[in-house]
Amino acid sequence: MGLKYHKIFTHDHINARELSEVYTSDSSDHGRLFIILELPKQKIDQQPYIDQLINEVATYFDTSHQENPETLLEELLQQINQLLPEMSSAVKIPNWINTLDLSVGIIYNNNVFMAGIGNIRGLLIHSKQLTTIMSKNSNINPHKIFSDIISGELDDGDALIVSTESLFDYISKEKIKQLTGQYSPSAAAIKINELLETVPDFVTFNSLIIKKSAITDRELTPGEIKKPIDRDDLEIKDTIKPLPDQNYHSSLPRTKTVVDLGGLKNVGVIKKTSSILSLTALYFKTLWSMFSLIGKKIKFAWLFVFSTKFRKNKEEKTIDNIKEITNQKYFWFQNLSTKKKIGIIMLFVVILIFLQSLVFLTQEKADDTKNENFNKLLVDIETKYQEVDAKLIYNDEQAAENILLEIEGLIAQMVPSSPDQQTQIDKLSETLFHKINDVRHINVVPSPLEKFDMSANITNSQDIVQKEGIFYILADNKLYKITDDLLEEIFNFAGGQVANSMTDWPEKNRVVVSTLSATNEISYIIFDLDKKQIIGDLKQNSSNTSVKDLVIYGNNLYVLDDKNNQIFKYPESGNGFANGQPWLKKEVDTSQASSITIDGSVYLIANDGKIQNFLKGSLEPFDYHVPRPIIGSGAIIKTFRDSNYLYIIDPGNYRVIILDKDGNIKDQYASQKFDALKDLAVDPEEKAIYLLNNQHLYLLAINE
């Protein structure tokens, strides 16, 4: 026995808000075609396009020689996929396809094949259970409008309802399930129409009931029918038992007069107002959701941090979840057969081998890419060196230096993939260091003489003072003494004091150390090197709130205060110093100054390499030859009364600079060993410079 079907089609062509059509073909060897179509009315007449669509699909169905109904439906959908975009371009309504509710299907023997787009619903009633097999689909791909086909065979008593959404707005699914399960399709359609009797005329119902009849299906006699029916709307297979003299064509109005408030949505002003209100509501809803989420996260974090009970519960819950999942997986595996267990283990091993192979291949490919880039950079560097040689032939040192800086950038880009490549990079860096300093006329010292290695005792050094061949090192908040190749700790600045800076007191066997207390209070400690003890201290001037550097000249202490743009002078008084006074007569920006030295004139050096000269508190002109490259940040400058030179260490460029007092460059020295320059001391005869390079003390001979 084949399937029976009946349509529910209630549509007022004048008052309805939609254009709606339902089409069922005659029975053929490849089944019966049905089309349910609906779309909202627009100012543009769309009826010709509806007619064209139905006609072309029906014609293709009637003339097709395809015997397989599912394949035939696929061909029909391909035709529609091509036809709809053409219609959309012709109708000139924005997003026209997205307004279309369309279902196309084939009934063949006891099977149904169908597909749908838009607001079309498909409900299956099987074994008194209702299942949605086709639902609203608004995400339509314009290049492939129909994508999936739903198919299946109906058993005795099974029913399928394909309908636009309006049917379910007025009748519950449970009621539809009850009627279709109890009655034949035609009788169920009549009962549903009776329930829809008072629905307004502007509402359209377009549905198809398909059912494989059961012996328990009920038919209706004319006496049971409350609403007149149109006999032409009944299929031959669905019979109604007539009663004598029953009038099948009596006319009663379907609806009562109603006020269509929903129709107001088509009024332009109301549409815009409704849209604005909807967007505003969405905005506040989004804000509320966001703040609600943030509030929950804050509450969770607060409880997690401050509530031991909450944290413990969360931890226990997490552990329980992990245990539950682990147990589930364990018992699942235990319940498997031996063959399945072996299969899973083998699959796991194969996956591990595959992943390991994939890692090796990826690593090998990455290494190949690294090697390729490495070799390319080598070629580029060699080419750059040839350009440098060409520039030097014409004595264009500036251009040569610029190219060497480009080579420095290329070396920085090199990533070694082996120890040999790292060795190559180190050699390239060393070669470049020599070459660039040669162009800059800087003497390279490959291996400076190491006077003392302090790495076994010192972590971080700060300052050095040299007195008659004895060296005093301020490091790790301690004062050390180096004599006769022996490092000796002579004082520990404990008790909450932190040693900040140290300077020599040339006329006395003393040093002065600035310290900082736990309350940021500055003190100047006078330390007697013979007695190895503190013999006095001095509280700073109330205006002197920082110590960048300090120096003693003429038994007066000068303190560089970079935060207050001032130099404070503390005159000698007894075994110590009197209260300090501002020394600079005019406001000068010393915020970037890093070091101070005095030979009668006061010299400051700044982080940008600028050197300033002051005399009696006033700024004096000082024209000096700016070295290449310019002096970097953290530079230290030193000189003394009878010296003809200014000695500068430039940590950022691994360099020592000697300037005469006229500003001319006497010498420059550079070494890759000068990688942590901290301070320097100059031999009184100016034949050697002692360089404090953190844990190492180097001796650098000065050229005559």
Q: How confident is the model at residue 10 (pLDDT cuts 50, 70, 90)?
A: very high
The stretch 680-688 carries a mean pLDDT of 92
pLDDT tens string 635-678? 999 999 889 999 999 999 999 999 999 999 999 999 999 999 99
Cα–Cα distance between 25 and 522 in angstroms, integer? 103
Same fold, 4-233 and 449-701: no
Neighbours of 68 (CB within 10 A): 12
pLDDT of 455 above 80: yes
pLDDT of 252 above 50: no
**pLDDT in the model for residue 224:** 77
Does the N-terminal peptide bond of residue 40 adopt cis geometry, omega within 30 degrees of 0? no
**pTM for the full predicted model:** 0.52
Instruction: Choose the CATH number for 449-701 among 2.130.10.10, 3.40.50.720, 3.40.50.970, 3.10.129.10.
Output: 2.130.10.10
Q: How confident is the model at residue 265 (pLDDT cuts 50, 70, 90)?
A: low
Read off the tokens for 115.
């597909």
Read off the tokens for 168.
């379910």
Cα–Cα distance between 51 and 35 in angstroms, integer? 12
Neighbours of 251 (CB within 10 A): 7
pLDDT of 476 above 60: yes
Domain boundaries, the chain: 4-233, 261-307, 342-439, 449-701
Q: Say what percent of the chain tops pLDDT 90.
A: 50
**pLDDT in the model for residue 2:** 73
Cα–Cα distance between 635 and 646 in angstroms, integer? 12
pLDDT tens string 324-353? 888 877 778 877 888 888 888 898 899 999
The stretch 443-471 carries a mean pLDDT of 93
Q: How confident is the model at residue 28 (pLDDT cuts 50, 70, 90)?
A: confident
Neighbours of 109 (CB within 10 A): 13
pLDDT tens string 89-146? 888 888 888 889 999 999 999 999 999 998 999 999 988 888 898 887 766 666 677 7
- State which H helix or E strand residue 106 sits in: strand 101-108
**pLDDT in the model for residue 138:** 64
pLDDT of 297 above 90: no
188, 221, 231, 696 from 240: Cα distances, Å: 12, 6, 9, 113
pLDDT tens string 340-398? 888 888 988 999 998 888 888 888 888 788 888 989 999 999 999 999 999 989 889 89
Q: Among the listed ranges 221-230, 298-307, 684-693, which one has the minimum average pLDDT value?
A: 221-230
Q: Among the listed ranges 40-49, 158-167, 689-698, which one has the minimum average pLDDT value?
A: 40-49
The stretch 31-35 carries a mean pLDDT of 93
pLDDT of 414 above 70: yes
Instruction: Choose the CATH number for 4-233 among 3.60.40.10, 3.30.930.10, 3.40.50.11540, 1.20.140.10.
Output: 3.60.40.10
Query: Between 427 and 91, whose confidence is greater?
Result: 427
**pLDDT in the model for residue 44:** 85
Q: Considering Cα of 66, then 70, then 71, then 75, what sign does the dihedral take?
A: positive
Q: Considering Cα of 623, then 618, then 650, then 473, what sign does the dihedral take?
A: positive
Q: Among the listed ranges 60-74, 157-171, 313-327, 558-572, which one has the minimum average pLDDT value?
A: 313-327
- Tell me which residue has tokens 């299942």: 131
* Average pLDDT for the chain: 87
Which residues lie below 8 Å from residue 126, measured CB to CB, with a gap of 6+? 155, 158
CB 659 within 8 A of CB 665: yes
pLDDT of 613 above 80: yes
Read off the tokens for 691.
């360089």
pLDDT of 241 above 50: no
CB 238 within 8 A of CB 213: no
Identity of the amino acid at 212? K
**pLDDT in the model for residue 262:** 54
**pLDDT in the model for residue 360:** 84
